[in-house]
Amino acid sequence: MDAGPQKEHRWLDRLVGDWTFEGECAAMGPGQPPMKYVGVETVRSLGGLWTVGEGENEMPEGGVGKSVMTLGYDPASRCYVGTFIASMMTHLWIYNGSLEGDVLELDAEGPGFTGEGARKYRDSIEFTDDDHRTLKSHALGDDGAWQLFMTARYTRKK
């Protein structure tokens, strides 16, 4: 199978490079402030068809977290696909998404915050310019509305 990069793959090329990021996630308990963290990520291209992002960040409760995100585009299904794994969780996140303007929306299913049952999630990647992007993570609430629980702002290293 000989596949060449398409325009959808070229959008993903914008991710390639070395980045720093800072973010915050929702508090783990009522009355708690949001947890903040900082980290670095290196994204490389795999044949112009996939990106592989390897991240490392300080965990809010201490220690270092590591993650790997793969993203690509599947011309057969006409959607963006990918995976996410991290050293602080056992779930393999499988992405299926679409590009809405300049925002890549990636849907996944995973365990609920309480550890019981499954929940729908959506990560969105938005570029504000070639050197800045934002990742936002949402969970679908019982009321049917997407609830933001994590935001990370990335800056390309020069």
- Residue pLDDT, tens place only, 1-50: 567 899 999 999 999 999 999 999 987 667 888 888 999 999 999 999 99
Question: Residue 32 has what pLDDT?
Answer: 83
Question: Residue 152 has what pLDDT?
Answer: 97
- Name the pLDDT band for 108 (thresholds 50, 70, 90): very high
Mean residue pLDDT across the chain: 93
Total Cβ atoms within 10 A of residue 103: 14
Query: How far is 7 from 9, CA to CA, in rounded Å?
Result: 5
CATH number of the 7-23+35-156 domain: 2.40.128.20
Residue 134 has pLDDT above 80, yes or no: yes
Q: Rounded mean pLDDT of 148-155? A: 96
Residue 80 has pLDDT above 90, yes or no: yes
Q: Nearest to residue 67, comparing CAs of 57, 75, 79, 80?
A: 57
Question: Residue 123 has what pLDDT?
Answer: 98
Tokens describing residue 79: 């959607």
Question: Residue 14 has what pLDDT?
Answer: 97
Question: Residue 1 has what pLDDT?
Answer: 58
Query: How far is 75 from 110, CA to CA, in rounded Å?
Result: 25
Between the alpha carbon of residue 154 and those of residues 18, 91, 107, 118, 128, the distances in Å are 10, 24, 20, 29, 10
Query: How far is 33 from 26, CA to CA, in rounded Å?
Result: 8
**Locus of tokens 């990560």:** 123
Question: Residue 30 has what pLDDT?
Answer: 76
CB of 17 closer than 8 Å to CB of 156: yes
Tokens describing residue 87: 């050293």
Q: How far apart are the first and last CA of the chain?
A: 37
